[in-house]
Amino acid sequence: MKIRHKTRIKICGITRIEDALEAARLGADYLGFVFYPPSPRYIAPAGVREILRGLHAAGLERVPEAIGVFVDASPEEIVAVRAEARLDGAQFCGDESPEDVARTTPIRFRGMSLETLDRLGRYNAEAYLCDTHAPEQKGGTGRSYDYDTLQPYIYQYPIIIAGGLTPESVGGVISRLHPWGVDVSSALEARPGVKDLTRLRAFIAVVREAE
């Protein structure tokens, strides 16, 4: 039988202090900051540093870990961005090889598409973020799929389910699969880069209730 555990929650695509504060107050475990300039959720390292400064000044019981989301960035660039933004770790969402990933530490998450699940375990990552693949774009797609296809892997690896999760669907996914974590971005937005705080609150509440 699958042992139940606390589901880690990653709220990605953060660009505003208001959204970061609310996610932190609600108990999110990770905040994702996108360092991929073509993305509408891109944020500069200095902007992340200001958001994190605000979180630490807010007197919160706990500040979520800050995760930089990178797409085919060089190890040197990632090291520089992490230092400037004061990140806790990196998430890789491009075509980086295991060797490239190994050159950057600490590694938190490796993004995997459903088409590359056979490569799970090749990367020295804390967890694997699984999403659908879209040839026309890099990173997350925001599209839902048959999450049950991940079930065989959840028993072997720390899997973060991503892609199309909503406050309406995430409870059932957690109740059935009990993944290591869940990741959400566009499904909680009022517009790209701006979270709908009502949906943010609902998402985290449903996750905690379903655990």
Active site residues: 12, 131
19 sits in the region (left: phi over 0; alpha: psi -120 to 50; else beta) called alpha
Q: Which two structure tokens, joined as six digits, stand for 168?
A: 């309406």
Q: How far apart are CA 188 and CA 165, in angstroms?
A: 9
- Is 141 within 8 Å of 131 (Cβ atoms)? yes
Longest dimension (CA), the chain: 46
Q: What does DSSP say about strands 181-184 and 107-113: parallel, antiparallel, or unpaired?
A: unpaired
